[in-house]
Structure 1
Amino acid sequence: MRCRALVGLLLAGLLTACAAPALSMEPTDRVEVLSWWTSESEHAALTTWIDAYRAAHPDVAVIDAGVAGGSGSNAQVVLAGRLQSGDPPDVWQTFLGSSLRQYAEQHRIADVSAAYRPEDVAALPPAVVDALTADGALRGVATGAHRSNMLWFNTGVLQQAGVAPPGAGYTERQFLADLARLKAAGTAPLCLGGQDRFTSAELLEDVLLARVGSEGWAAIAADRFDWRGPDARAALGVFGTLLDHTQPAAATTTWSRAVATLAEGGCGFFAMNDSAYGELRAVGADLGAGIGGVAYPGTDGDFIAVIDTFVVAAGSPNGRNAIDLLATIQQNPDALLGFSAHKGSVPLRTDLDLSGLSPYQQQAAQVLRSGTLLMSVVHGEVMSPAFQQGFYDAVADFTVHRDPRAFADTLQFAVSRDLAPQR
């Protein structure tokens, strides 16, 4: 039965909430998954997970409804249309925290606690369990954590320009000086996949964290940060300098193409979450000797987590299969480790043997478990999705006009329209 709001309430501009319909747990022969994982490394990771499910459920057809392009933005448009028309996929990709909670508040997603055993919950960091929870129930399953505040570099390109490859303690001042040296040598200093807007936003997020630290990050999450203050203006100043050192075609380059350009020696540096690591492996880059990575300068002990999460549509007619699919990635160590091996992410479970993963991933896991775990503004984890969109708009405007006041105005406009962070 469909929930219908009373006409009088609609005329008054109010919304009547509907209780989320129960999942159907009757056996069926299909389950549909919508994601934006279509690059080489992403699709390989997704296939590892789905193949593990298929091995245990050979009579169920898994429909891969992946949507290419826009690094998720195209998939979000398709998902929004399907939700509006009452035809949601059984399972879809999102992020935990604010993004997940908004779906829960709208009664769009189901309680997926059945995908967890007590030991599964105990093996996850408490902050992650909290970010997966809404209305007292677990609402999603996370596939792993990407470290967003990463700076990748091509060792050969740097050495040809007389630049020493960065190591521990690399500072922002050194980074800016090295970019200038690369530019003077006639080499593109910094690759940027600007066609995918999240890359520019992630770059500013890195710069901002280096400026304000974890205490400032807490102020951002609590909506106490002064976006017109000196820290914001200083971060935007550095961000503008970085933009001035990107390759000529930055605005029309996808993130995966930017990764390939770094591997091919077309630039010296590239800042992006470590999905880039998975893609570098997929294109056969010489990781270690040829391509290296360090935390963005000034953020060594911090881990901005980009945590891809899958949810189940409320009332899904294939609810039993959807829950079993999520349980596969949560409960199957081989599926988790195989997924991360392709994706470049780190499993969130603290009880897994990570010795089979790469040295980089083992190092990232150590920071995740012993450093400061922070949720991402860019990926809608720490702020509301509406504020997230305001941040994207502000970054896009700044890349063109370089006006700190306009940046703050865009965010203030978002807040004034009740698009402030949800707490």
Structure 2
Amino acid sequence: MRKTLAAIAGLIVAGLALTGCTGSTDTGENGGDTSQVDVFTWWASGSAKTGLDALVAVFDEQFPGIEFVNAAAAGNAGSDAKNVLASRLKANDPPDSFQAHAGAELTDDVDAGKLEDLTSFYTQNGLTDVFPAALLDRLTLNGKIYSVPSSIHRANVVWLNTALLTKVGIDPTKAPADLDAWLGDMKKLKDSGVGTPLSVAADAAQVQLFENVLLSVLGAHDYQGLWDGSTPFGSAGVTKAIDYYDRLLAYANTDGAGQSWPAATDRVIDGDAAYNVMADWALAEFDAKGKTYGQEYTTWPTPGTDGVFDFVAESFTLPVGAPHPGAATSWLKTVSSADGQKAFNLANGSIPARADATATDYPLYQQGAMASFANDTLVSSLADGAAVKVSWLNDVTSAIGQFVSSKDVGALQDALVQAQSKGLAG
């Protein structure tokens, strides 16, 4: 019954080659040279590269006269690539399109005049009818839209090893009601000889765990208020969240600061850890290791966040001064098309941004994620660029990194208050 995501994507792309080809080259609304499109991403390896290849295959069918130039840059979960991209934009040497997290992450580039307004692209291509209104709200900056999402990821997901939990008498199919109950299960695991109940990684993964705790303690409304200032970081709720975060880390591996997110996920896959909080790009890691959803592993929303979808959207832009703007517009058409989104997300383990996608075309985990995305309260991920601009996120990441070493609750909260003040000030 099980097929790997990559294999399914291959079948889909093959089918699209027969049925989805336009057979023409589109000059795009912006005209110009459409001989090639230079696309910058950090999808240089693994399932992300498989997904990109699947998307490019659809692009080649839809626009056979345009050469796709892969300008992917690898390293450090995308942060190295972002540094390279920032240098190119500063030097007015943009690619034709680049990958970004949709939402507030693009604020600095928008304010600097580095991105074209794509609002008319949305209306001309019917995207306002097929992208959910809550998503469109979070794609909008100052009344305009500057990126086109290729996929949606959920950030409030716990991945767990079913055999490890079953062995100590914990039902892996039943999520703890709240963080206290989850901590109780971790104590039970620790007392039973499990050395690492919770597997953690460095930097962005630590921030992602912390944002999950904030969401659990504060609830969707007050969590979202952190980013517009209606919920101050100096509040008692944030103090409580920091305390819970500290208690969770007591059950985590001590080498997290030097561990990548795939390595943290692999600890759960290998049975060395019971839990890992990670966005659902982790699905492809389980799939690559031949594990079956609902058998060797399963998932549930982070305790206290059921009914909330903490969203991340991978997206593509049209930079000001793109060498081939017409070809870039054609690329964005493929990215947003039903065929392009289906091919990419089947390979990548994510879900389509389009509300008209057919859930039964996807494996079980993605079907559940699609239902949650359609029905749950949508909030913006901090760690993955949706909630705040880059400088604010960098300040939070630095503060979390220091806390992992010092465990100084007061110092962390003070740093978060300062980060919020700076971020809201502009």
What's the TM-score, normalizing by structure 1?
Answer: 0.88
The answer to whether the 8 Å contact 1:200/1:395 transfers is yes
1:116, distance to aligned residue in structure 2 (A): 5.5
User: Which segment is superposed worse, 225-234 or 46-55?
Assistant: 225-234
1:346, distance to aligned residue in structure 2 (A): 1.6
Does 2:72 match 1:62?
A: no
Does 2:32 match 1:26?
A: yes
Question: How do 1:51-130 residues align onto structure 2 when only pairs under 5 Å count?
Answer: 51-112=57-118, 113-114=120-121, 117-130=124-137
The answer to whether the 8 Å contact 1:111/1:139 transfers is yes
Q: How many residues align?
A: 397
Q: Deviations over 1:177-233 (max 9, x none)?
A: 121122223322111122xx1111010111111101022123212213232332111
CA–CA distance in structure 2, aligned partners of residues 234 and 324 of structure 1: 49
For 2:183, which of 176, 185, 193 is the aligned residue? 176
Question: How do 1:298-337 residues align onto structure 2 when only pairs under 5 Å count?
Answer: 298-331=304-337, 333-337=338-342
Paired position in structure 2 for 1:393: 398
Paired position in structure 2 for 1:133: 140
User: Which segment is superposed worse, 293-302 or 275-284?
Assistant: 275-284
CA–CA distance in structure 2, aligned partners of residues 226 and 80 of structure 1: 31
Change (3 A) 1:168 1:401: closer
Change (3 A) 1:219 1:323: same
CA–CA distance in structure 2, aligned partners of residues 77 and 286 of structure 1: 37
- Tell me the SS of whatever aligns to 2:32: coil
CA–CA distance in structure 2, aligned partners of residues 397 and 420 of structure 1: 22
1:44, distance to aligned residue in structure 2 (A): 0.9
Question: How do 1:179-190 residues align onto structure 2 when only pairs under 5 Å count?
Answer: 179-187=186-194, 188-190=196-198
For 2:409, which of 387, 404, 411 is the aligned residue? 404
What residue ranges of structure 2 are gaps of 5+ in the alignment?
1-28
1:291, distance to aligned residue in structure 2 (A): 0.6
Does 2:260 match 1:254?
A: yes
For 1:365, which of 370, 375, 385 is the aligned residue? 370
The answer to whether the 8 Å contact 2:151/2:351 transfers is yes
Change (3 A) 1:234 1:135: closer
- Tell me the SS of whatever aligns to 1:419: helix
- Tell me the SS of whatever aligns to 2:361: coil
CA–CA distance in structure 2, aligned partners of residues 398 and 266 of structure 1: 25
1:168, distance to aligned residue in structure 2 (A): 4.8
Question: How do 1:374-389 residues align onto structure 2 when only pairs under 5 Å count?
Answer: 374-389=379-394
Change (3 A) 1:383 1:339: same
The answer to whether the 8 Å contact 1:393/1:410 transfers is no
C-alpha RMSD of matched pairs (Å): 2.1
CA–CA distance in structure 1, aligned partners of residues 374 and 423 of structure 2: 33
Q: Deviations over 1:20-65 (max 9, x none)?
A: xxx9521332211111223411111111111111122233222222
The answer to whether the 8 Å contact 1:115/1:324 transfers is no
Paired position in structure 1 for 2:201: 193
The answer to whether the 8 Å contact 2:293/2:365 transfers is no
1:141, distance to aligned residue in structure 2 (A): 0.3
Does 2:165 match 1:158?
A: yes
The answer to whether the 8 Å contact 1:146/1:275 transfers is yes
1:162, distance to aligned residue in structure 2 (A): 2.9
Residue type at the aligned position of 2:200: L
1:72, distance to aligned residue in structure 2 (A): 1.6
Paired position in structure 2 for 1:16: none
User: Which segment is superposed worse, 290-299 or 49-58?
Assistant: 49-58
Question: How do 1:271-286 residues align onto structure 2 when only pairs under 5 Å count?
Answer: 271-286=277-292
The answer to whether the 8 Å contact 1:223/1:421 transfers is no
Paired position in structure 2 for 1:43: 49
CA–CA distance in structure 2, aligned partners of residues 350 and 58 of structure 1: 27
Q: Deviations over 1:46-90 (max 9, x none)?
A: 111111111222332222222222212111111111112221221
Residue type at the aligned position of 1:163: I
CA–CA distance in structure 2, aligned partners of residues 207 and 123 of structure 1: 32
CA–CA distance in structure 2, aligned partners of residues 385 and 288 of structure 1: 37
- Tell me the SS of whatever aligns to 1:231: helix
CA–CA distance in structure 2, aligned partners of residues 227 and 134 of structure 1: 23
Change (3 A) 1:394 1:96: same
The answer to whether the 8 Å contact 1:312/1:323 transfers is yes
CA–CA distance in structure 2, aligned partners of residues 38 and 262 of structure 1: 24
1:302, distance to aligned residue in structure 2 (A): 0.2
Change (3 A) 1:116 1:263: farther
1:421, distance to aligned residue in structure 2 (A): 6.7
Does 2:153 match 1:149?
A: no
Residue type at the aligned position of 1:420: L
Does 2:358 match 1:353?
A: yes
CA–CA distance in structure 1, aligned partners of residues 425 and 164 of structure 2: 42
Change (3 A) 1:192 1:257: same
CA–CA distance in structure 2, aligned partners of residues 213 and 319 of structure 1: 42
- Tell me the SS of whatever aligns to 2:151: strand
Change (3 A) 1:94 1:328: same
What's the TM-score, normalizing by structure 2?
Answer: 0.88
Paired position in structure 2 for 1:294: 300
Paired position in structure 2 for 1:419: 423
Residue type at the aligned position of 2:388: M
